[in-house]
Structure 1
Amino acid sequence: MSDFRAIADRVEIEALRGEFTDAVMLRDYDRIALLFTPDGAWRMPNIPVELEGREPIRAWGRRVPDFVDFLVQNTHPGVIRIDGDTASGRAYVSEVGRGRDGRGGLNYAI
């Protein structure tokens, strides 16, 4: 892979982080699900929740308004590993919000 291709891949992956946060803020869980590969996983170890595949991600989103009053999310860079045509990575998420039960604050990795 050329250096240019590796740089372009990293830029595209970084753009996914922005798309993810934008979709979460808009509570557009159909869009969030489409940001993951069909076998992709969304892991939130502090809750703890692990969602594998697009439909479980959509289903989670449909339940969010039942237990989250509001949130503001920021996604922070983590690692990106590129191996040929395959990539994996991790980002860190900070959320300030309030649950319907009155609790506030969430942090997790995706």
Structure 2
Amino acid sequence: MNDLRAIADRIEIEALRGEFSDAAMMSDYDRFASLFTDDAVYRIPDADIEQTGREEIRAGTERLASEWEYFVQTTHPGAIQLDGDTASGRAYICELGRLRDGSSVFNYALFHDRYRRTPDGWKFTERVYEVRYFDTSPLAGSPQVAWAATHPPAGDESS
């Protein structure tokens, strides 16, 4: 892997996967949807969810997020197979949170991804969520005041 383009592509795809978790946790649904191509498909088979296209992905994600009191998702690096202007890969996920009904969720999962290079950078064309471990034991912790509510983003001097 001495090809600089391949190295840059891998870094950009990894950044895309991190941006996904950040947009989800920051409830930035427009940014979340912008990470997908116009014709993308987002699936969560265990929850019988399939969303097609940016508008449906945005609306569906906002609807799902409204069910959470709090939600934490971390993305861990996985495999990436490059094929010109397309790629496929897997990202490993750890999530926990509490739903508004009081139930808790802790799980490990992975995303099976397909990506496409666009004029705006790499985007998801398909993202399929596969749960590998699922636990509904009550979480002992509690949510804390969001850092973003009390601290402006780095470089933002407007506050």
Whether TM-score is above 0.5 comes out as yes
Gaps of 5+ in 2: 112-126, 128-159
What's the counterpart of residue 46 of structure 1?
46
- 1:107, CA displacement in angstroms? 4.5
TM-score scaled by structure 1?
0.84
The percent identity for this pair of structures is: 56
What does 1:55-74 align with in structure 2 at a 5 Å threshold? 55-74=55-74
Which runs of structure 1 show a deviation greater than 6 angstroms over 4 or more consecutive aligned residues? none
In 1, Cα distance between equivalents of 2:41 and 2:65: 21
SS in 2 for 1:38: strand
- 1:9, CA displacement in angstroms? 0.3
Higher Cα radius of gyration:
2
Contact 1:46/1:107 (8 A) holds in 2: no
Question: Larger strand proportion, structure 1 or 2?
Answer: 2
In 2, Cα distance between equivalents of 1:55 and 1:61: 10
SS in 2 for 1:12: helix
Matched AA of 2:17: R
Taking a change above 3 Å as real, the CA distance of residues 45 and 91 of structure 1, as seen in their structure-2 partners, is farther
What's the counterpart of residue 81 of structure 1?
81
Gaps of 5+ in 1: none
In 1, Cα distance between equivalents of 2:77 and 2:48: 21
Paired residue total: 109
The structure showing larger relative contact order (alpha-carbon pairs under 8 Å, at least 6 residues apart) is 1
Matched AA of 2:78: G
Matched AA of 2:24: V
